[in-house]
Structure 1
Amino acid sequence: MKYLIIILSILTLCSIAGGFIFETEYSQKMIGFGIAGLFFVVFPIFSYYRWKDKNFKDYMLTKENLDKMREKGKEKKF
């Protein structure tokens, strides 16, 4: 999965750069497909890859998590 994300990122960035560098009749489409691929394909795959084994409750602001943050803040003060 990691290598797929890297390859797709490189392809989309090359498409964007190629659209700017090469002045052809479809250079605007190359830029557009590169940006669309980056935001609609690469970013969701990357987000899934990074969050697939995480517990969402750890990142929600619940009463228990707020209390834990307050306790850690008190411990760090000198």
Structure 2
Amino acid sequence: MKPIHIITLIAFLASLGSIVCGLILEVDYSEKLIGFGVLGLFLVVFPLFSYYRWKGKDAKDYMLTKENLAKMRENQRENKY
């Protein structure tokens, strides 16, 4: 397993654990636990996951350019018949 996988998994489990503890435990700072868990998901886990998944890929392949729209229309015509 790659280190980026391990870091992402640990951050995900920590964020999820923080959210669950905030929901289950009846302490004064339970809302803060939920908030830190959500922040961890959006500021740490999602960027790490996105970086890993998009590494080595060209973003232009996923943009709606005139060339890509033409390819999509051509593929639809071919698959229609």
TM-score by length of 2: 0.87
For 1:56-75, list aligned pairs within 5 A: 56-75=59-78
Structure 1: gaps of 5 or more residues: none
Aligned AA (1:51):
W
Counterpart pick for 2:22 among 19, 22, 47 = 19
4+ long deviations beyond 2 Å:
none
For 1:28-67, list aligned pairs within 5 A: 28-67=31-70
Residue-pair matches, total: 78
Q: CA deviation at 1:3?
A: 2.0
Q: How well do the aligned residues superpose, as a CA RMSD in angstroms?
A: 1.1
1:27-50: CA deviation from partner (whole Å, max 9, x where unpaired): 111111111111111111111111
Q: CA deviation at 1:64?
A: 1.4
Distance in structure 1 (CA, Å) of the matches to 2:23 and 2:64: 44
1:1-57: CA deviation from partner (whole Å, max 9, x where unpaired): 112111111110110000111111221111111111111111111111111211011
Aligned AA (1:3):
I
Aligned AA (2:40):
G
Give the share of equivalent positions with the same residue, in percent: 58
Residue 9 of structure 1: aligned partner: 12
TM-score by length of 1: 0.90
SS at match of 1:57: helix
Aligned AA (2:39):
A
